[in-house]
Amino acid sequence: MSPGIVAESDLSGALKSEYVFFDGERVARKDFPGGAVSYYFSDHLKTASVVTDSAGNIKEDEDFYPWGGELQFVNNDSNHYKFGGHERDNETGLDYMLARYYSNPLGRFLTPDWAAKPAAVPYAVLDDPQSLNLYTYVRNISTSKTDPDGHFQDPCTCPRNPWAPWMPTPQEVAAARAAPGTAASNGAVAVSSSPGSGLSNIPPPPIITVSLQENGNGGTGSGSNANSQGQSTPADPNKGQDQKQQDEKGTQRTEHGQERADQARAGDAHREVGDANRIIREGKQYTDSETGNQVSVRGNRVVIRDQDGNIVSQFKNTKANTNQRVQDGRWVRKPEPEEQK
């Protein structure tokens, strides 16, 4: 398969443009009959976001949204090869990906995937549910995958992650899956770091695990806690699930308070208040006249502690509701340290 269209002509057969490719990417175009040359500058998805003339003057400059939407800054060029290097139809805005048309506003193909040899779910990978949807684009990973022909994502578009060099590249994973005897019992892929595998000089990842209980960094895990040097230390076996938890700087939580923190980590926007210690430290202080609990308010974020200082709840509250509770006498403002003097 060629990397793309190499020449275009009009209906009479007169040559209009020729394209130059390097390593599978479109890098230049020559227009006829004038012979003007333009250069393409593409990203890791082969999307040409900048086109210049032979003197380096920018003729086209644009950004692309993750699913192919176009944000133009300079548009003085006739280039019609846009998202992923595919041709974009000027009338419909659809991207022609050979086998199918793709709609970037929808983030979906207009027709289901198909294969030359009939299959119930073409190109399906049974351990990846995203591959079972016949309309999705690159299995919904559009920021790092491309589709060269409208059938499946290109597994070779992602280079090695510079921040995690021990992680295998997609092509290494694909090779490992294809090799016999590499599939683990849990479905994981084992990639060898033996000489010649491309991983022999890559350092192994640091092993950092944390306790199932909420640890000093607010994370969860199993087995052990990591110190500042990245070394593992044994987890406290006496720290039970019903025991009061600790926040970043030692603030304890009751069981009810821990439930509220878990809800926040699970995505409950009403419970997401950020750093509870900062709210306690910098927020306005009140006393709940009905329960005697301590109420800390910073903006629209509220943290409530019992009389022993343990967090019992946290939530977002409108300023109007806070003011109403103060006016009703439910929350009584504590004097500032300067006022107490």
Q: How confident is the model at residue 209 (pLDDT cuts 50, 70, 90)?
A: very low
Q: Is residue 299 part of a domain?
A: yes
Residues 237 and 262 in one domain: no
Residues 261 and 322 in one domain: yes
Q: Is residue 57 part of a domain?
A: yes
DSSP notation for 5-46: --EEE-TT--EEEEEEEETTEEEEEEETTT--EEEEEE-TT-
Residues 219 and 267 in one domain: no
Q: Is residue 126 part of a domain?
A: no
**Structural domains in the chain (count):** 3
Q: Is residue 24 part of a domain?
A: yes
Q: Is residue 34 part of a domain?
A: yes
- Identify the DSSP state of 259: H
Q: What pLDDT shows up at residue 218? A: 42
Instruction: Give the residue-averaged pLDDT of 12-22.
Output: 92
Give the span between the Cα atoms of 149 and 272, in whole angstroms: 43
Q: Is residue 142 part of a domain?
A: no
Q: Which domain holds residue 230?
A: 206-243
Residue 59 has pLDDT above 90, yes or no: yes
Residue 206 has pLDDT above 60, yes or no: no
Predicted confidence (pLDDT) per residue in 188-198, tens digit = 444 444 333 44
Predicted confidence (pLDDT) per residue in 116-145, tens digit = 888 778 887 777 788 889 999 998 888 888
Residues 225 and 272 in one domain: no
Rounded to a whole number of angstroms, the distance between the first and last alpha carbons of the chain is 82
Residues 307 and 238 in one domain: no
Residue 232 has pLDDT above 80, yes or no: no
Residue 296 has pLDDT above 80, yes or no: yes
Q: Is residue 58 part of a domain?
A: yes
Mean pLDDT, all residues of the chain: 76
Domain boundary among 85, 118, 152: 85
Give the span between the Cα atoms of 45 and 110, in whole angstroms: 21
- Model confidence, pTM: 0.47
Residues 235 and 278 in one domain: no
Q: Is residue 193 part of a domain?
A: no
Residues 262 and 235 in one domain: no
Residues 235 and 214 in one domain: yes
Please check whether residue 109 is in contact with residue 103, taking contact to mean a CB–CB distance below 8 angstroms.
yes
Residue 182 has pLDDT above 70, yes or no: no
